[in-house]
Amino acid sequence: MSETIFALSSGALPSGVAIIRLSGCNAQAVAQKMCGFTPLAAKLRLADLCEPDSGMVLDRALVCGFVGPHSYTGEDVVEFHCHGGRATVASLLKVLARQEGCRLAEPGEFSRRAFENEKMDLTALEGLSDLIAADTEAQRKLALRQSGGDLRELYDGWRSELVRVRALIEAELDFSDEEDIPDSVSDQVWETVEGLVHSIGCHLDDGRAGEIVRDGYRIALLGPPNAGKSSLLNALTHRDVAIVTPIAGTTRDTIDVDLDISGYKVIVTDTAGLRATDDIIEQEGIRRAEKAALAADLVLWLHPPGQTETTGCPEGAVIVFTKSDLPEFETPSDKFREALIINTIDAKGLDPLLALVADQVSNVSPQVSNSLVTRQRHRSSLTECVNCLSESLDKRSRLDVGSELLRQASDSLGRITGRVDVEDLLDVIFAEFCVGK
Ligand SMILES: Nc1nc2c(ncn2[C@@H]2O[C@H](COP(=O)(O)OP(=O)(O)OP(=O)(O)O)[C@@H](O)[C@H]2O)c(=O)[nH]1
Ligand SMILES: [Mg+2]
């Protein structure tokens, strides 16, 4: 019999209301001892919460219960909606810890029980974790869809098709001597497998749209020293995030800042100015700058007045002419028709720059309404699945080998939703969750 777990499931204290959640077979009995009645399904009732031995009142709270399996975890669940003072919550948690068979929940343990009791698959739980972490509108929409089960439906659908074609192959293998199993069965099988390779391939070939929405669209600010990179970062964030000085080579480490641009999470990275140098600290800064540029979805190359060269500017970077307020600023030649012109003294040109970023990020991830790959974990398993399917097509003349490859492909899909042997993965997945989830 599993222990009854409890934890503060609401946010940081102090708060107006705090919710302490209990889940497990003793939840109802413990609630009965503390509030004098058994909380009924989804009905809130006002109660004095007491220390069971002394009868001392700890708080006056709303109490509700959910009878398993109709609860988040699938077990009996009780919630105390108490006052969110630190001392109140601490006294309730202390009393709960003393109750028989009760202990404080580990991070993600409520969700893990929901998974183990088949209330939700892994993709829905990951979606829920993302929903709680969502800072932007696009993240919220994507996470809500995933927590509602859209990825599970898609992957389970593909898996069912694989199960069906494997059954057809097994039948052909078992009855291949008999006349009533037509040869065309295997044609049907490979047609379906070809269809799946196409569908999963398209799903994977999404320009990482889901991952960009979930993890953020990366922009690296690159350019020579003193180009105004740190000044631009500060102007975009309206904060003094990075040190700005007239000394060339001020920034050494890369600095990441999260922004919300048109509802998308955008991570802007300020970097060390690129130049030849003997200073080993600066050399390391430049190495990090180049690494940030490689990892970026968009590079903005900042170009200060007085320089004619754009040496070091990576291909595909958007050129931004800086310090347009200075007398020495010259209007760029026709060659740079597409370039942007800014100055951070009076914020000129920042709106077009933000519009360009919004345009780029929405181009990369246009369809938040589609089912998108949101995690590397999913991408790896989907790639594994397509590889097995493609190999099975190459070996279609060997039905027994093909069947085994289709089994592996189906297991790869099953691992995403948690239908097959994921025990080793669970600790990693639920470690992302915090206590009370
Ligand atoms: N007039 C004017 N000065 C600017 C502008 N942007 C930056 N500066 C000045 O240019 C100098 C360098 O700016 P930074 O933002 O530190 O330049 P950086 O590219 O980060 O330089 P490093 O960190 O050395 O690579 C500072 O003195 C800024 O005040 C601008 O738009 N107009
Ligand atoms: Mg700088």
Give the model confidence (pLDDT) of 254-311 as tens digits.
999 999 999 999 999 999 999 999 999 999 999 999 999 999 999 999 999 988 777 8
* CB-ligand 1 contact for 332 (6 Å cutoff): no
Q: Domain 124-206+388-430 carries which CATH code?
A: 1.20.120.430
Residues 29 and 75: their CA atoms lie apart, in Å, by 13
Position in ligand 1 atom list of the atom nearest CA 272: 25
Contact criterion met (CB below 8 Å) for 5 and 22: yes
**Category of 389 on φ-ψ map: left (φ > 0), alpha (ψ -120 to 50) or beta:** alpha
3-state SS class at 249: coil
Beta bridge pairs of residue 77:
23, 66
- The torsion of the CA quartet 354, 359, 363, 367, rounded to 10 degrees, works out to 90
42 C-alpha to ligand 1 centroid (Å): 59
Query: What's the CA-to-centroid distance between 234 and ligand 2, angstroms?
Result: 10
* Ligand 1 proximity of 249 Cβ (cutoff 6 Å): yes
Which residue intervals of the chain bear CATH 3.40.50.300?
A: 213-364
Return the SS3 of 84.
strand
For 160-207, how does the pLDDT look when each residue is reduced to its tens digit (9 = 90+)? 999 888 888 877 777 665 555 556 677 888 999 999 999 999 999 988
Query: What backbone torsions phi and psi does residue 393 show, to the nearest 5 degrees?
Result: -70, -40
pTM reported for the whole predicted model: 0.84
Instruction: Identify whether 224 is preceded by a cis peptide bond (ω within 30 of 0).
Output: no
The pLDDT-based confidence of 99 (bands split at 50, 70, 90) is very high
Residue 360 Cα, ligand 1 centroid: separation in angstroms? 26
What band does 235 get if pLDDT is binned at 50, 70 and 90?
A: very high
83-120: burial string, b at 16+ Cβ within 10 Å, e else:
bbeeebbebbeebbeebeebeebebbbbbbbbbeeebb
Give the integer Cα–Cα distance in Å for 87 and 166.
60
Question: What is the CA 107 to chain-centroid distance, rounded?
Answer: 17
Pocket-testing residue among 222, 226, 252, 270, ligand 1, by greatest number of atoms within 8 A of Cβ: 226
Of ligand 1's listed atoms, the one at least distance from the Cα of 344 is 31
Say which CATH topology domain 4-105 has.
Answer: Gyrase A; domain 2 (3.30.1360)
Report yes or no: 348 and 325 within 8 Å, Cβ to Cβ: yes
Place of tokens 């000129």: 348
Nearest atom (ligand 1) to Cα of 247: 24
Which whole number is the average pLDDT over 376-405? 92
Distance of CA 85 from the midpoint of ligand 1 (Å): 47
CATH class (in words) of the domain with range 213-364 = alpha beta
The amino acid at 403:
S
Residues with Cβ within 8 Å of residue 372, at least 6 apart in sequence? 142, 206, 209, 210, 213, 365
Query: Residue 365: what pLDDT?
Result: 72
Q: At residue 62, does pLDDT exceed 70?
A: yes
Q: Nearest ligand to the C-alpha of residue 306? A: 1
End-to-end Cα distance, the chain: 21
State the pLDDT at residue 98: 95
Q: Tell me if 228 CB under 6 Å of ligand 1.
A: yes
Q: Write out the residue limits of the CATH 3.30.1360.120 domain(s) in the chain.
A: 4-105
What's the pLDDT score for residue 367? 62
* Contact by Cβ (8 Å): 271, 221: yes
Query: Which amino acid is it at 437?
Result: K
pLDDT band at residue 335, thresholds of 50, 70 and 90? confident
For residue 14, say if its preceding peptide bond is cis, omega within 30 degrees of 0.
yes
Q: What separation in Å is there between the alpha carbon of 356 and the centre of ligand 2?
A: 22
Range from 8-17, 144-153, 251-260, 367-376 carrying the lowest mean pLDDT = 367-376
Average predicted confidence (pLDDT) for the chain = 91
431 lines ligand 1 (CB under 6 A): no
Q: Is 213 in the pocket of ligand 1 (CB under 6 A)?
A: no
Nearest ligand to the CA atom of 247: 1
Distance CA 429, CA 415 (A): 12
Looking at ligand 1, which residue's alpha carbon is closest to its atom 32?
323
Strands 77-84 and 15-23: antiparallel
- Minimal-distance CA residue to ligand 1 atom 11: 246
Tokens at residue 231, please? Answer: 């000044």
CATH 1.20.120.430 intervals, the chain:
124-206+388-430
**Segment (H or E) for 321:** strand 318-321
State the distance from the centre of ligand 2 to the C-alpha of 237, rounded, in angstroms: 15
DSSP codes, 81-141: EEEE-HHHHHHHHHHHHTSTTEEEPPTTHHHHHHHHTTSS-HHHHHHHHHHHH--SHHHHH
- The rounded Å distance from CA 231 to ligand 1 centre is 6
